Homo-oligomer: A and B are copies of this chain.
Amino acid sequence: MTQTFDMALIQRGARLRRSPYFDATLRAGCRSYTVYNHMFLPTRYDDLHTEYEKLLTGVTVWDVSVERQVEITGRDAFEFTNLLTPRDLSKCAVGQGKYVLIGADDGGIVNDPVLLRLGENHFWLALADSDVLLYAKGVALNSGLDVDICEPDVSPMQVQGPKSKEVVRRLFGDDVLKLRYYWFLETDLDGIPVVVTRTGWSGEVGYEIYPRDGSRGVELWDRVMDAGRDLGITPTGPSDIRRVEAGILNYGIDMTLDTNPYEVGLGWQVDHDQEGDFIGREALARIAAQGPKRKLAGVEIAGDPLDLNMTRWPVHQGGRVIGFVSSAVYSPRLDRNIGYAMVPTGVAELGTRLSVTTPEGERGAVVVPRPFVDPGKEIPKS
């Protein structure tokens, strides 16, 4: 069986949801969608490399409505939300966001949303692909805490790339340029209430616009496109090249319910000394003390440019399978195949030589530092 394949997804039935921008993405020539949080996610209008170039040099728009929000309100919303994540949310001001992990009792990772604190007891979690709405409802059940948990009508879009600053300035005025990384402002555009955040999933400078009225999605889309037309604004999918270069992880493959923060290099998310309690506290303390048994290492894979991997690729050392490559892609500007490999901790040392089974045969690989580009610049450490 070939490792890469095109699948004609003939949508049957109305089970999968459409974004408020869906008609606009079709009209703009979106050529492929995937499914994320039970909803269609645009993944491609052009080839990977063209979209990567647009992101690096211009300004791109990506419909990320699939980042469904979980809204937590009620008298105990702070205490409850703090329980869901190992980060200490007492350090998150109203008006500020944080990249957080949602944790399970055994230290596993349930999700890695961007959290926005809209009020003392008012939070949004912009989700990766898992039903945190259900998890949170389950946790709340016997918690004794007074919270309301729902999915509000909020559907973000990303505006990313070096020229994104000018686009959001034109739309929202100079104030938006003052936003520090992971902070947000609440404003409106032609009467559409929006939250604008200094965030993104691209590794480039960028913003996300969270409209609070899905019925006006196409109108908002058109307004954003108009504001950037002379700057060459372009709708795209995600840039897996750019996000791997930046060391950004993709929930569902680079980290899952079966991985813990220490394995994937997100141990800094765990605030052991905080006052509040959080799910997984004991397990994470134990893992921190003992050290994780395996680690997600940066790897360079030798040979000709590889297509993005479609399955986990086995990693060998001394003839034995010792782990797998989760994400791998060819970076044009590095002229190298880069990616992540989950391997035993001893093997994750810089410079370790490995062998990877790719669809194009066995390839040599070496453990290298990650991120691969712009260390620290746009990694979600805020």
A126-147: CB near B (< 8 Å → 1, else 0) gives: 0001111111111111111000
CA distance A140 to B141 in the complex (A): 9
Residues of B within 8 A of A35 (CB): 16, 34-35
Structural contact, B6 and A129, CB atoms closer than 8 A:
no
A41 CB, nearest partner CB in chain B, Å:
10
Select A138's contact among B14, B27, B138, beta carbons within 8 Å.
B138
Q: Is there a chain B Cβ closer than 8 Å to A11's Cβ? A: yes
Q: Is there a chain B Cβ closer than 8 Å to A292's Cβ? A: no
Structural contact, A240 and B13, CB atoms closer than 8 A:
yes
Structural contact, B138 and A11, CB atoms closer than 8 A:
no
Closest to A17 in B: B252
Structural contact, B18 and A311, CB atoms closer than 8 A:
yes
CA distance A250 to B32 in the complex (A): 25
Structural contact, B15 and A11, CB atoms closer than 8 A:
no
CA distance A34 to B7 in the complex (A): 9
A341 CB, nearest partner CB in chain B, Å:
13
Closest to A22 in B: B1
Residues of B within 8 A of A27 (CB): 1
Select A9's contact among B13, B33, B252, B308, beta carbons within 8 Å.
B33
Structural contact, B44 and A13, CB atoms closer than 8 A:
no
A135 CB, nearest partner CB in chain B, Å:
4
Structural contact, B6 and A10, CB atoms closer than 8 A:
yes
Residues of B within 8 A of A186 (CB): none
Interface centre among A16, A134, A237 (most CB of B within 10 A): A134
Structural contact, A14 and B327, CB atoms closer than 8 A:
yes
Q: Is there a chain B Cβ closer than 8 Å to A118's Cβ? A: no
CA distance A137 to B102 in the complex (A): 13
Q: Is there a chain B Cβ closer than 8 Å to A279's Cβ? A: yes
Structural contact, B11 and A7, CB atoms closer than 8 A:
yes
Residues of B within 8 A of A140 (CB): 138
* Contact flag A15-B250 (CB < 8 Å), given A26-B1, A105-B141: yes
Q: Is there a chain B Cβ closer than 8 Å to A23's Cβ? A: yes
Closest to A40 in B: B7
Q: Is there a chain B Cβ closer than 8 Å to A12's Cβ? A: yes
Structural contact, B14 and A312, CB atoms closer than 8 A:
yes
Residues of B within 8 A of A309 (CB): 13-14
CA distance A32 to B129 in the complex (A): 22
Structural contact, A279 and B13, CB atoms closer than 8 A:
no
CA distance A326 to B17 in the complex (A): 12
Interface centre among A12, A44, A252, A326 (most CB of B within 10 A): A12
Residues of B within 8 A of A6 (CB): 8-10
Structural contact, A13 and B327, CB atoms closer than 8 A:
yes
Q: Is there a chain B Cβ closer than 8 Å to A43's Cβ? A: yes
A242 CB, nearest partner CB in chain B, Å:
13
Residues of B within 8 A of A308 (CB): 12-13
Residues of B within 8 A of A312 (CB): 14
The 9 closest A-B pairs by CB, nearest first: A138-B138, A35-B35, A142-B142, A131-B131, A9-B9, A134-B135, A138-B139, A15-B252, A10-B32
What are some 24 contacts across the A-B interface (CB < 8 A)?
Answer: A1-B27, A6-B10, A7-B8, A9-B9, A9-B32, A10-B32, A10-B44, A11-B310, A12-B43, A13-B308, A13-B310, A14-B309, A14-B311, A14-B327, A15-B250, A15-B252, A35-B35, A38-B130, A105-B141, A131-B131, A134-B257, A135-B137, A139-B141, A142-B143
